[in-house]
Structure 1
């Protein structure tokens, strides 16, 4: 799989099938669809500066000149590999020759960037509108204010800042009024139209309101003075904002003992969206919501104020016993459409022991490409470290925030696009490339990505359009399929850029195609595609059985690409290209993406949102965590994810992406409690204890959202974080003794060995 990692380092791209099946029937037999995990803004290994001119495009299909274009130097024309149209070079390319190629035609320039627009135009600063929940206990509100004050200190002085607080009412703070704290108050149970919002905020107190037309920004009737009352540069409002935060208190609305606080989250977000729509349409603006409990008031409420009504569970949603769920989903779908149209991003930082409504907010956060962070408290390191990383600057620490993205796809006519699973929204650009089958955001060849960063990844699903076998003569010439991904975006420095990735894959058909398909199979990318597909199907298909679907898919794939004698399970073998895939599927069946038991709807939505935006390497860790052993006998080394890996004299480090666990074996824990690591003669033991801490700190510092760190001992209560992820090869039902200070898992789940045995038996029967 190192070769596939090289492709990702070059173009930010991984595909399950790097050799494409030639017909629709053969693609169906391959089980996993032709697809790609693409990171549009990945920091590539061979970084080149953006080209300071506009791209040269095909007159017919609008694809961009690329290394796969055929160039006729004598006629000074280039042939598009997608539509085969001949395009003349403009005059500034008149000196082109085999020894004088433009950068976009270099063989290694499969990914290039262009600067769009005039370089003299002043870049627009980023806009941050903070929306704070005040229905918190005083300690939690103090933690939130402290973290927010630190984060504001990391912002550039040119950043535009606004503040909205909410509880039972919504308060829009006028930061441009420096004499004292001043805010406009809106009822939490009443929705406002855009015109009502502008009127109540006195936007047209000095200037007459336009009689017609859309009011959007200074150019359409709003004066810059009116906009600067609520949204102004950080350098101009830092003192006022800090004063407002210091004076901020918990919501004064009385709460009875048998009631929840009156919290109008939906209305507050609607007011924030309306304010940005009027003041900064089409700019790189983010609504950053900090929520500490469930919404109980107005639109978007997920539960009533009465504590006797429980917050919806998975079972309630499945059986339609959640009275507020569908109304809240409908409201946030409307909010998502509004934000996408405006080009704005919604980020949610949810810190509460109870649910806050992430399951309902998912459509708005994911549709705009926003962040989501879920923690137990505003004082938890998961929240504090994650918030700090959003605003950090520097080559190694920043997230590379970009905005106002538009993603387009072009491909050879032998393929059609079914859709995209990931943080984007359809632009409904119909065309011959669109498939009738829709997966995720489908029925289009262009998508809006309001917010994206260096790690934002999307999953594109294609289908082979050809039903009959291609012409043999064509295949004998080496039939190639071409793909081109175009990403327009506003860089964090304000520049508008276009990144173009063009690549080719070979099409195969016939009796010998199985070996060629197998040679190009990327089992890590395939596991990630399966995880995204099963998550999507669980959310959109009624009565969908995810475990059965995964099992059937795995059996079909193994029966096609496995080597076996019919009726003989012992003869079954898989080539190295497929050998780890059954293990990935075993862990996917047990993962938090499929097993919702013991997880709330908010937690499940959170896990799936992170999965749908991360690259292959990070997603694989979510599906199958990594386990590293630290001991006196060897250097730190990865070991199998099995309960047999537990030993009394060993420290284990489990990385499951959302949680990092440092697990001390029984003997190690006893020595630590005895304080041996504090004695000079036991420095080796002190170094052994520190090594996994250092390793965990590196993981935590590079990841967003920041994972939870759990330090536990064998047989301790928090050891469950490790045991839940291990293969239960030794359980309370097995007779095999566990030696060496090992452990057992109290579960009735089947082990991987049993799973593999059943898989072999079923495959050889096919």
Structure 2
């Protein structure tokens, strides 16, 4: 696995299969699809950036790389993707086998080309604020907006929209008193009409201005914000026009950047929606204002009954709005802080297409929101060079593959640029029918999953190497220079008869996360948990048969290879997780979790599927990883569980009793104090670098909050079996051992 981590650190690539099957039939038998997880903006420590132009193939546009055969005598090379032989440019006439340019060295399979400098327009952030809130929540919103004024650079252009029954666009500079333009919350308008009412293309417009110009007046506007004044009838929800507010914000950006996009390709803009409830009027409506109708839940969505009557139309509205936002490279970010759903199921398309983000919290005062909000602002602040997650704005990604490979598509927050070619498969997985995608709102954690197919190749044809090249063109947020990052990969191929060789290149972590992404994508298409689980089970069985030896009809004879032993375990926990199980979970929660699953790195996705568990004891306060198992929940230790969305410090009953007795306050019990403080450094590291920030909780053994951990662990001991140590879990789920036994029985059955 260390080799896979090294490739990820130096190239941003993780591959389930690092040695590929030779034929399409072999691929179908192996279960896990042929795929690559790629992080195009990964922060690579020793990444080389050159300042000369790249050499492109005249036929397929692939860039010169270490896998191209080069004739140094004639100064010609052969493209490894299309097979075209062509001449190197005159600037390469002095190269020799000993004096090669950087792009021909294997150490630089990932490198960047610096193009001409550009001067994109200042960053734009438009804040859309929900005013149908309690006074205490509005106060927290004001504090968050004031933080944005303090953190964002002076040249950042900002705008302020508030919405409730109506949508109010605020002027940011004024002479005597603040003014605003009020729009009806039930009627959507085109960008042309918005420009007509607001004069956005007019140099003297006052609605989106640099902070350096409007800082004082914007501060006053924020202080003067008040709760929506329209009377709410008894037993009704507030009239909230979220859809119209989002549409107006996107239209304002569209008017400002219509000409700029053509000039600079990817100026960066963001819309930040701070919402505290469902849209109840106008386009994008989620539920009726009458409180007698409840907000749709999964049974309503799956059965398509009257409660979910707005889902289809609202989803289409936000998808269309996402297309409009994409035209001006505007990322839409939704911060949902409410005890009720706000409609993320319907709004997902606008975030996925534009590369924005989603966050769920119960209040604008909760740490999950406040920490995430600060990180979001720091990502878009040029002044903070130490931000762990860097925002790079919009980008285009083009992929080239060998002649015997087809591209099914990409699973992630992308949109198609409709660049069809002979290397595109007619079968779509994710966003398909193209070999070029637009990545709006890309950051250094954005990871995209590309799925491939193999052409039919006669078995008597010799083994062939396969080549993949990713080319990502973006503007560096720090230097404001146009950059092309090129990552070239090569894969050996083998017949399935040599599975022992193929298995040495199997990355079980990447494979498990890839299966999870495809499952999330299929759930979005079918809304059927049962169908998705059947698909996951088929993959486990197929892949397991390739990685084990057994005697037919003898489950006890099954022996898995060492680099496969955790793969069924990852997917066992995935099957039990709230990523796929809908019971007790709202559509908004599931949507947000699937959205993050389809954009995060491999380690983060693994945390979602199988939470990481660290154990701290009096003897070991440094912490050690332990299995996610109920038997690890003993009274004399502290456990730290990281499930990406939740961070939980769990204290055993003995440790909790020590704390309640105040032993940690006595000098003679310094070891108890050290134990109680031991999880804090790990928690601080996670909270500082995680976006969105997880919910952070403490729980003692036997308390209600402890259920967060018990719902995740393998139930080795249940209320039916009892236990010799650890915690008893009240569940009817099978445990991991039973799951593996059933898997073995299924594998060894020989059909007659």
Q: TM-score scaled to structure 1, two decimals?
A: 0.94
CA RMSD, Structure 1 to Structure 2 (Å): 1.4
What is the CA–CA distance in structure 2 between the aligned matches of 1:272 and 1:391, rounded to whole Å?
18
The question of whether the paired residues in 1 share the 8 Å contact of 2:474 and 2:483 is answered with yes
| Equivalent residue number for residue 344 of structure 1 | 330
1:676 paired to 2:663: yes
Note the alpha carbon deviations across 1:158-181, whole angstroms, 9 max, x for none.
Answer: 111111111111111111335421
Assess if the C-alpha contact under 8 Å between 2:47 and 2:110 holds in 1: no
Report if the CA contact (8 A) 1:592-1:604 is conserved: yes
Mapping for residues 708-723 of structure 1, pairs under 5 Å: 708-723=695-710
Which of 367, 372, 376 is equivalent to 1:390?
A: 376
Pairwise CA distance, 1:596: 1.1
CA deviations on 1:303-360 (whole Å, 9 max, x unpaired) are: 0100000000000000002111111001011101111122211011110010011111
The whole-number CA distance in structure 2 between the counterparts of 1:161 and 1:559 is 57
Q: Deviations over 1:136-157 (max 9, x none)?
A: 1111011011022112211111
2: CA distance, partners of 1:451 / 1:54: 26
| Separation in 1, partners of 2:197, 2:324 | 20
Higher mean displacement: 281-290 or 4-13: 281-290
Q: Aligned partners of 2:525 and 2:109: how far apart in 1? A: 36
Aligned to 1:294: 278
What are the equivalent positions in structure 2 for 1:606-685 lying under 5 Å apart? Answer: 606-634=592-620, 635-685=622-672
Aligned to 1:3: 3
Q: Structure 1 residues 667, 56: closer, same or farther in 2, change over 3 A? A: same
Q: Does structure 2 retain, via aligned residues, the 8 Å contact 1:25–1:467?
A: no
Query: 2:388·2:689 contact (CA, 8 Å) conserved in 1?
Result: no
SS at 2:562 equivalent: coil
1:756 counterpart = 2:735: no
User: Hey, what's the Cα distance between the residues in 1 that align with 2:546 and 2:662?
Assistant: 57
1:495 aligned to which of 481, 494, 498: 481
For 2:524, the equivalent position in structure 1 comes to 539
Task: Show CA shifts across 1:631-662 (max 9, x none).
Answer: 01334211111111011111111111111111
Report what 2:552 is aligned to.
566
Structure 1: unaligned runs, 5 residues or longer? 204-221
May I ask how many residue pairs the two structures share in their alignment?
A: 734
Structure-2 separation of matches of 1:464 and 1:516:
19
Contact 1:346 1:371 in 2 (8 A): yes
- CA–CA distance in 1 between the matches of 2:695 and 2:223? 29
Query: Residue 395 of structure 1: CA displacement?
Result: 4.1
- For the residues of structure 2 that align with 1:79 and 1:241, how far apart are their CA atoms? 59
> Structure 2: any 5+ residue segments left out of the alignment?
262-266
2:174 corresponds to 1:195:
no
Does structure 1 conserve the Cα–Cα contact (< 8 Å) formed by 2:110 and 2:487?
A: yes
Displacement of 1:45 in angstroms is: 3.2
- Following superposition, the deviation at residue 495 of structure 1 comes to 2.1
SS in 2 for 1:153: helix
Moved more, 502-511 or 570-579: 502-511
| Aligned pair partner of 1:319 in 295, 303, 308 | 303
The structure 1 residue matched to 2:319, chosen from 330, 333, 339, is 333
What does the per-residue CA deviation read over 1:383-412, in whole Å, with 9 as the maximum and x for residues that have no partner? 100111122253442421112211111010
Match status 1:361 vs 2:351: no
Q: For residue 77 of structure 1, what is the aligned residue in structure 2?
A: 76
The CA distance in 1 between the partners of 2:424 and 2:460, in whole Å, is 21
Deviations 1:555-578 (A, max 9, x none): 122123211000111100100111
Alignment partner of 2:424 out of 434, 438, 447: 434
Matched, 1:166 2:163: yes
Is residue 2:499 matched to residue 1:520?
no
Where has structure 1 moved over 6 Å in runs of 4 or more?
Answer: none
**8 A contact 1:296–1:304 mirrored in 2:** yes
The Cα shift of 1:371 comes to: 1.3
Distance apart, 1:224 and its partner CA: 2.4
Paired with 2:748 and 2:330, the residues of 1 have a C-alpha distance of 53
2:264 corresponds in structure 1 to none
Change (3 A) 1:487 1:470: farther
Write the distance in 2 (CA, Å) between the matches of 1:365 and 1:482.
Answer: 32
Deviation at 1:361, TM superposition (A): 0.8
1:254 maps onto 2:240 in alignment: no
Partner in structure 1 of residue 216 of structure 2: 239
Moved more, 514-523 or 242-251: 514-523
1:207 corresponds to which residue?
Answer: none
Alpha-carbon shift at residue 413 of structure 1 (Å): 1.1
Q: Pick one of 135, 147, 152 that aligns with 2:149.
A: 152
Distance 1:106 1:680 in 2: 60
Q: CA deviation at 1:510?
A: 5.4
Pick one of 456, 471, 477 that aligns with 1:466: 456
Per-residue deviation, 1:508: 1.4
Distance 1:178 1:706, change over 3 A: farther
Q: Aligned residue for 2:55?
A: 56
Task: Measure, in 1, the Cα distance between the counterparts of 2:50 and 2:199.
Answer: 46
> Aligned pair in 2 of structure 1 residues 470, 193: CA closer, same or farther (>3 Å)?
farther
Does the CA-based 8 Å contact 2:26-2:496 persist in structure 1? no
Q: Do the aligned partners of 2:338 and 2:362 also contact (CA within 8 Å) in 1?
A: yes
Q: CA separation of 1:449/1:510 partners in 2, compared to 1, >3 Å: closer, same or farther?
A: closer
Which string of whole-angstrom CA distances, capped at 9 and with x for unpartnered residues, describes residues 60-96 of structure 1? 1100111112222221222211112122222222222
1:21 match: 21
> 1:116 Cα shift?
2.3
User: 1:98: how far off?
Assistant: 2.3
Q: Deviation per CA, 1:14-36, whole angstroms, max 9, x where unpaired?
A: 01011111111110001111001
Cα distance in structure 2, aligned partners of 1:144 and 1:153: 14
**Which of 684, 689, 706 lines up with 2:693 in the alignment?**
706
Name the residue aligned to 2:121: 124
SS in 1 for 2:294: coil
How many Å separate the matches in 1 of 2:90 and 2:20? 38
Q: Which residue pairs with 1:208 in the alignment?
A: none
- The answer to whether 1:136 aligns with 2:136 is no
Aligned to 2:540: 554
- Aligned equivalents of 1:744 and 1:623: distance in 2? 22
Partner of 1:213: none
Choose from 398, 410, 420 the match for 1:420.
Answer: 410
**Contact 1:22/1:466 (CA < 8 Å) preserved in 2?**
no
* Residue deviations 1:703-734 (CA, integer Å, cap 9, x gap): 11011111010001100011000111111111
